[in-house]
Amino acid sequence: GLYTTGIMAGAAVAAAGASGLTRLAGWQAMFGLWTLPAVLALLLWTGATKRSVAVPAGGPRVVRRHALWKSPRAWLLLTFFGVGTGAYTLVLAWFPPFYASRGLTADQAGYALSALTVCEVLAGLTVSAAIARRPDRRPLLIAALTSLLSGIACLLLAPWLVLPAVCLLGAGIGAIFPLSLIVTLDHASDPDQAGDLMAFVQGGGYVMASVMPFLAGWVRDASSDLSGAWLLMAVGVVAMMVMTARFKPGVRI
């Protein structure tokens, strides 16, 4: 919960402050300022990893590594995370320009994205607090995906409904992000495999998600509109609903 909340809360702060910082110092300096929290994170990480790790009696334990790239289930989890995170990167990159093209000022569009991200944080914390009582993750996943699909429908059919779009997209994305990681961990048999599986799913999933803003930009250049990108994302959400049916409790890699 803290991990996913930290990511989304950082995005909310950045979205709210980007326009004002750009006016104050220029866009190059605005981007450069974000090296400061990165340096702070590096220092904190360096300090945390200096802690000694106790070696168990009898020497280091030998861990058998499972070839995850050979597992269809691991690829399913990677694809699910990649498409869900693709919705996050798509909204992060193109939500403000979309509403700026429909009459909002740069500040208003930034505040709308910031409010959306606050909704993500609240949804992520709610899911993380309630997940222990829900061993079957599928109902929560379907509810989150339905919210996300409804938000995309607002962008496509009623873009003037800014507040409903913000709330629905934020609740959907904010719940899907931690849920997809929790479902991934559900498939691991021990902490070592959990680390390997998370690295596989997040590494490949983020690569997949990084393509979505580029595709949206290409669609916008080709059609002078983002409707095609939102429609593509809606198809991805429906595909995730189909994949959700396979996440039965108790299944391991």
Inform me whether the pLDDT recorded for 75 exceeds 70: yes
Distance CA 33, CA 14 (A): 11
What pLDDT band is residue 55 in, cutting at 50, 70 and 90?
low
Protein fold of 2-19+78-244: Growth Hormone; Chain: A; (1.20.1250)
In the predicted model, what is the mean pLDDT of residues 65-74? 85
User: What stretch of H or E contains 199?
Assistant: helix 191-223
Per-residue pLDDT tens for 141-171? 999 999 999 999 999 999 999 999 999 999 9
Closest CA to 71 of 201, 207, 202, 221: 201
What percent of the chain is modeled with pLDDT above 90? 60
pLDDT tens-digit readout, 22-40 = 888 898 998 899 899 999 9
Distances (CA, A) of 96 to 69, 106, 108, 109, 136: 37, 7, 8, 5, 35
pLDDT at 114: 87
Concatenated DSSP letters of 155-186: HHH-TT-HHHHHHHHHHHHHHHHHHHHHHHHH
pLDDT of residue 124: 87
Determine the pLDDT at residue 57.
57
User: What 3-state DSSP class applies to 20?
Assistant: helix
**Nearest-10 crossing angle of helices 106-130, 162-186:** 40
What is residue 4's predicted lDDT score, i.e. its pLDDT? Answer: 76
